[in-house]
Structures are given as structure tokens and as C-alpha cells.
Amino acid sequence: MTDPNALDDVLAPERRQKARGHDAARTAITSQITDRRLPGAILLHGPMGIGKATFAFELAAAILTATGDEPAHRVEEQVAALSHPNIFLLRRRPKDAKSYYTVIRVEDIRSLRDSLHHTRGRAGHRVAIIDSIDDCNPSAANALLKTLEEPPADTSFLLVSHRPGQLL
């Protein structure tokens, strides 16, 4: 079963190496990573299809490389395979073998929150990517808001939004 947002002949965001554009945001966030002044959450917003999710995975790899103990190429491979133990991805979940839920549910947010409170898989920060936060139902959005207000230590949230004006 493919991702409901997948486009034919286009690699999934986690499989791409670098997002096009986003140069000003890249420079600003890279300097924060270098200075070890990472915010608890970063909202990546704009129209659908401009590479926000790809950029989120690029940033995740940069954060994991800068704060961890593995070489960049190894981290990038693990991020592309979604196998790095310090990266967490939250998207709409499969409902059954043929369909997906239409929203990110509060149970999904609670599961993410609980996972972030376990011992780290490796040295360095943990990164949680929510793609897209617009898919959260109201209960899930409230649960996420509570987590963002008091994030776990050394954890960065990368929030992808197509309609930031409609967020809580």
C-alpha cells in the first residue's frame, strides 16, 4: 500500500537527499544547529508540493549528525530508510490493508509522546517529524500542543503545515 499523498514517479520526502530552495531557512536553522541553540519545534509552512517534508528530513539528518556520533553519510542512509533510532515520523496511519485514516488521531500523538520518553537509541538529539500537522484532528492537536509546551529534553519537532493559519 502506498502513502495516500504519494505522487507517481516522485521519490518520498525521506528518500531525497536535499530540498530545492529554502535557502534562507536552511541558513538560519543550520546556524542554530552549529551554535547548539536548537528550538524545541520548527514550523515548516507553505503551499503543498514545495518540498517542506523533504526539507524536514534534510534538517533531521543535519540535527542527528551534529548532535550524534555517526558520520553524515551513515545518518543520511538511516534517515532515508527511516531506520535511525532517534528519528520519529508521524503521518496518517494505515487503517487496514487498503486505506488510511483521514486524520492523525490522538492515539498516534500519545504513542509518539510515550516513545519520546523512552531511552534514546543513540547519542544525540531526537527528532520528531509531523507530516502534516494539518492532518491532526482537534484532540490530537491539543495533545500535541501539550507535548510542544513541555518537550522532552534534547528533542526537536519538525512540523510540516500547508495551512498554518488554521492551526491551534
Give the model confidence (pLDDT) of 60-103 as tens digits: 999 999 999 999 999 999 999 999 999 999 999 988 888 888 99
Q: Which residue has the higher pLDDT, 49 or 141?
A: 141
Residue 121 has pLDDT above 90, yes or no: no
Domains of the chain: 13-166 (3.40.50.300)
Given phi > 0 = left and psi -120 to 50 = alpha, else beta, which region is 26?
Answer: alpha
How large a percentage of the chain has pLDDT more than 70?
Answer: 90
Task: Give mean pLDDT, residues 122-138.
Answer: 92
Q: Are 22 and 55 in contact (CB under 8 A)?
A: yes
The pTM of this model reads 0.86
- pLDDT in the model for residue 141: 92
* Comparison of pLDDT for 8 and 153, the residue scoring more: 153
Q: How far from chain centre, in Å, is Cα 79?
A: 11
Mean pLDDT of all residues in the chain? 87
pLDDT for residue 89: 94
CA–CA separation, 162 and 144 (whole Å): 17
**Identity (one letter) of the amino acid at 90?**
L
User: CA Rg, the chain, in Å?
Assistant: 15
154 secondary structure, DSSP code = T
The pLDDT value recorded for residue 2 is: 53
Residues of the chain above pLDDT 90, percent: 52
The CA distance from 82 to 88, in Å, is: 8
> What distance in Å separates the CA atoms of residue 162 and residue 26, rounded to the nearest whole number?
18
